[in-house]
Amino acid sequence: MQRLSIPESFERLYGHFGPQHWWPGDTPDEVIVGCVLTQNTRWENVERVIESLRERGLIDPRRYTKLPREELALRLRGCGTYRQKAEYLLNLGKYLLDRGWTGDPDSLSAMDTDALRKELLTVRGVGPETADSILLYALQRPVFVVDAYTRRILARHNMGADQHYDRIQRLFMDALPTDTYLFNEYHALLVACGKQYCGKRPQCDECPLGSDLQKPDRAVIFHPDRRRGAGAVERGGLENR
């Protein structure tokens, strides 16, 4: 199947699905917990556990890091390997608190994104996808998240999905303006596409990335100078670029 243009694919996906408003979470702390719990786990199960943690006031690392690991593990039951995830969450929570985390992304603003990413990757239980999801969706840093849906879509378009995580990430980041909102929406749109069209049996005829489809009549223009909530993406004609 034909290779994709990374910018044009965003236009097609955004034109088809519209904004996705990720990540589903009320606060940065809730997003961080979700990033750990969702590893190899259905989101519906994660939501149930987050709801229960929220009711007990345990979303805050200042609270959950005080719990013994076994007790936290019991609170995470239903999220796959919950004992392991309890350990991962404790590691991550302690790391964030050591760094001065208050629940506000600004509390880590003294650290640049590369340094923060390097440190997050040293926390046991935090791999590249989890680290980048935390950076992008909880801390509002402009990094692109690569997941299994991204790899599958790239693989089917002969775009080197077997490459190392960082190389796939670079493929997107080199082709796009460095912008948190754009990376946020793009990753979420690839997930939407993977779920709806690019499953085990791809439905290319209906998919907005199908090579035989035309670009949307009304293409999407991205404005890197705007930010989330301020209409970062607008519809219009490509000729207006």
Beta strands in the chain (DSSP E): 220-222, 233-235
Of 81, 190, 198, residue with least CA distance to 144: 190
Least distance from C-beta 92 to ligand SF4, angstroms?
32
Least distance from C-beta 69 to ligand SF4, angstroms?
41
Nearer to ligand SF4, 75 or 151 (CB): 151
Least distance from C-beta 32 to ligand SF4, angstroms?
30
CA–CA distance, 187 with 139 (Å, rounded to integer): 16
| Contact of 138 with 105, CB cutoff 8 Å | yes
Least distance from C-beta 206 to ligand SF4, angstroms?
8
User: Which residue is listed with tokens 């080197």?
Assistant: 160
Nearer to ligand SF4, 1 or 221 (CB): 1
Nearer to ligand SF4, 16 or 75 (CB): 16
Least distance from C-beta 204 to ligand SF4, angstroms?
3
Say how many Å lie between the first and final Cα of the chain, rounded: 28
Nearer to ligand SF4, 173 or 204 (CB): 204
In sequence order, what are the beta bridge partners of 222? Answer: 233
Nearer to ligand SF4, 61 or 208 (CB): 208
| Contact of 232 with 190, CB cutoff 8 Å | no
Give contact residues for ligand SF4 (rule: CB under 6 A). 1, 153, 156-157, 193, 197-198, 202-204, 207, 209-210
Least distance from C-beta 156 to ligand SF4, angstroms?
4
Collapsing DSSP states into helix, strand and coil, what is residue 214? coil
Q: Give the containing element (helix H, strand E) for 220.
A: strand 220-222
| Contact of 198 with 153, CB cutoff 8 Å | yes
Nearer to ligand SF4, 5 or 122 (CB): 5
